[in-house]
Structure 1
Amino acid sequence: MKHILGIGNALVDMITSIPGDDVLHHLSLPKGSMTLVDAALAQNITKTTSKFSPKLTSGGSAANTIFGLAHLGLQVGYLGKTGKDELGEIYENDLKACGITTHISKSTTPTGRAVALISPDSERTFAVYLGAALELSPYDIMESILAQYAHVHIEGYQVQNHEVLLKILERAQACGCSISLDLASYNVVEENREFLQYILNNYVNIVFANEEEARALTGEEPIGALDKLSQICPMAIVKIGKNGSMIKTNEKVWKIDAIEANAIDSTGAGDMYASGFLYGLVHHYDIGTSGKIASLVAGKVTEIEGARLPGLVWDEIRQQIQWFIKNSVR
């Protein structure tokens, strides 16, 4: 049995550093948000930002987490939907090149893309055209696939299609999989608050949230939000940027420090945090050690543009993990 299956929106990332937030105002994009756009607006955004030399990579929140887990040595897979186009082929081949098992269904609709606009203060704003990713259906979520994995990790953007997400959760639970959910973006949380509370209470074993997402769901600041989340989900994790993160399960709280990092881009930091934490849990490391690994991987990815760490950095991360393990209790 493989370790972890990621399920999410299969999107090609267009990572763009912008000179100032006036670009966001011009495009009517709230800073720090994830805004869904149609094909016409996506084309306008692409045209407006093309002069800033965007970098193209395969992405999507769950895919980023799975890429991280693959680099850490786990047996992982990814389920999503792309178009029958060049970007779709590039996307799937990129996954396979990292040793990720692919469960990609195809559509005549173009492959989705996510424009990540990076402000000078490293904050990222996403404009997302879902394209083919939006067409992921219950027919694509086969129990024969889910049964190959011990754990299913789902990105919060899937919450916008309640029917599909419920099928994923029901079938994963029926197959005996444990389930984690990353809450994605605060505006998505605000629009789906009651539904999120329902699925956290009934299906999800681990919930990841940053402080904005946690506030949007609970109405509380980090400590209070952690308490409320832990009341409806067995393990709750609230990430608070430079102040680290907090983890609560079985009425016990762990405070995890952030690592010192020369942050230039926060894109993918939350996704990589999930990679590190899930890696620790798969290996049955204690919560504190798993949190340290999560903080390490998340911090390292903020030092580069985008969510793809180079090989030498992964070598450094693996060495640091071995040090954590030697100084922890299994």
Structure 2
Amino acid sequence: MEFPQVVVVGSLNYDLVLKQDRLPYKGETYTADDLIQGPGGKGANQAVQCAKLGLSTAMIGKVGEDRFGEALLGTLRAVGINDEGVKRQGTTGLGVVHLLPDGDYYSTLLKGANHLLTESDIDEQKNFIQNCEFLLLQQEVPDHVVEYVIDIAESSNCQIVLNNAPARSIKEDSLKKVDILVVNETEAAYMENASVDSIDEAKVAASNLLKRVQKAVILTLGEKGAIVAQGTSVIHVPAKKVTAVDATGAGDSYIGALVFSLNEGKSYEEAAIFASEISAKTVSQYGGSDSFPTHNTMV
């Protein structure tokens, strides 16, 4: 049996993106200019980017028994993702995104089927989890499921990559089993209960977080780049300059590219540089995972 290089356990959402000049005031009905709709969810996004870059990828999660669920399964299959670990139950998770002219966005999530994922569902896919090269986790499924997956993967040779997004408290004994932690400045500030408003503060936070995981911390800073902490090294990797039009899914695109590069044997710094290039291309186009680059478009 051939096992996937990457297994992603996480969320699958259908995104409804409203393009508008500003957010409505309290009690105001504001008219949006356009609607972009398509696949989303941090888990599915990261899986799609991995697959688009050429990694054999499997997804574990849940979608609803509705047309949104069918559409999400179609997206996974279109890029060659193994979806046998994606079950259908209840209502599909939805992401409602308000996209502003500068590329920033505000997002509201309906948990839906994502929070129906159980430890029993994970047990059915244990073989894939224990035989992959990289395991990707986020925080849009129940926390006890994330912790359970980490425990299963710890005894294997796979590298556990945790994207603590949205930021959530994690048991220290689970966190110390994680190989690579990826967070943005908001998530790092939550985990450290400290300000992360500058590159220097980000370096301090990344250095502190590194003490709580196995191998490395990648702290992303948007247009300011990223901090890469490993061993005794804490460095700043600048972002590639680009005109951003839509930041939706950019962090997920970054993580998928990071894993791809690490799987190629690159260093953490080299992987962060490549991930910056990929996410820069993502934010320069409208749409969620549909806008993610393929390996061919980056050559």
Residue 173 of structure 1 aligns with an amino acid whose one-letter code is E
Question: What does residue 223 of structure 1 align with?
Answer: 203
Aligned residues: 287
2:23 aligned with 1:21: yes
Q: 2:179 maps to which residue?
A: 205
Aligned to 2:199: none
Aligned to 2:133, the other structure's residue is in SS state strand
2: distance between equivalents of 1:92 and 1:206?
28
The match for 2:262 among 281, 286, 303 is 281
Letter in 2 for 1:199: S
Letter in 1 for 2:271: S
CA contact (8 A) 1:116 1:126 kept: yes
Question: Please, which moves more after superposition, 165-174 or 71-80?
Answer: 165-174
Equivalent residue, structure 2, for 1:316: 297
* TM superposition shift of 1:287: 2.1
**CA 1:183–1:306: 2 relative to 1, 3 Å:** farther
Give the C-alpha shift of residue 312 in structure 1. 7.5
What is the one-letter code of the residue matched to 1:149? C
List structure 1 segments (4+ residues) > 3 angstroms apart after TM superposition. 48-53, 309-314
Alpha-carbon distance change, 26 to 308 in structure 1, aligned in 2, over 3 angstroms: farther
Structure-1 separation of matches of 2:102 and 2:145: 36
Q: Structure 1-normalised TM-score? A: 0.81
Q: CA deviation at 1:238?
A: 0.7
Q: Distance in 2 between matches of 1:176 and 1:169?
A: 12
* Structure 2 CA distance for partners of 1:176 and 1:50, relative to 1, 3 Å: farther
Change (3 A) 1:264 1:198: farther
Instruction: State the AA in 1 paired with 2:185.
Output: E
Partner of 1:154: 137
Structure 1 residue 200: Cα displacement: 1.7
SS class of match (2:280): helix
RMSD, matched Cα: 2.1
- Trace 1:70-89 onto structure 2 (pairs within 5 A): 70-89=51-70
> 1:248: Cα distance to partner?
0.7
Contact 1:301-1:309 at 8 Å conserved across structures = no
Q: How far is 1:199 from its partner?
A: 2.5
Q: Cα deviation per residue 1:242-295 (whole Å; 9 max; x = unaligned)?
A: 111111111112321111111012111111111111111101112222111110
1:172 maps to which of 153, 156, 168: 153
Instruction: Describe the superposition over 1:125-165 as per-residue Cα deviations: whole angstroms up to 9, x where unpaired.
Output: 1111111111001111021231342221011233xx23212
What is the deviation of 1:77? 1.0
8 Å CA contact retained: 1:267, 1:302: yes
- Listed as ranges, the matches of 1:7-46 within 5 Å are 7-22=9-24, 25-26=26-27
Unaligned runs of 5+ in 1: 28-47, 320-330
Structure 1 residues 197 and 20, CA, compared in 2 at 3 Å: closer, same or farther?
farther
Q: 1:122 and 2:124 equivalent? A: no
**Aligned CA distance change for structure 1 residues 89 and 115 (closer, same or farther; 3 Å):** same
Contact 2:54 2:295 in 1 (8 A): no
Percent identity between the two aligned chains:
22
Partner of 1:2: 4
Query: For residues 290 and 69 of structure 2, what CA distance do their matches in structure 1 show?
Result: 22
1:156 aligned counterpart, secondary structure: coil
What is the CA deviation profile of residues 54-87 of structure 1, one whole-angstrom value per residue up to 9, with x for unaligned ones?
2221111121111111111111111110112222
Which structure has the highest helix share of the two? 1
**Partner in structure 2 of residue 68 of structure 1:** 49
Distance in 2 separating the partners of 1:171 and 1:274? 22
Q: How does 1:224-239 map to 2 (within 5 A)?
A: 224-233=204-213, 234-239=215-220
TM-score, normalized by length of structure 2? 0.89
Alignment correspondent of 1:263: 244
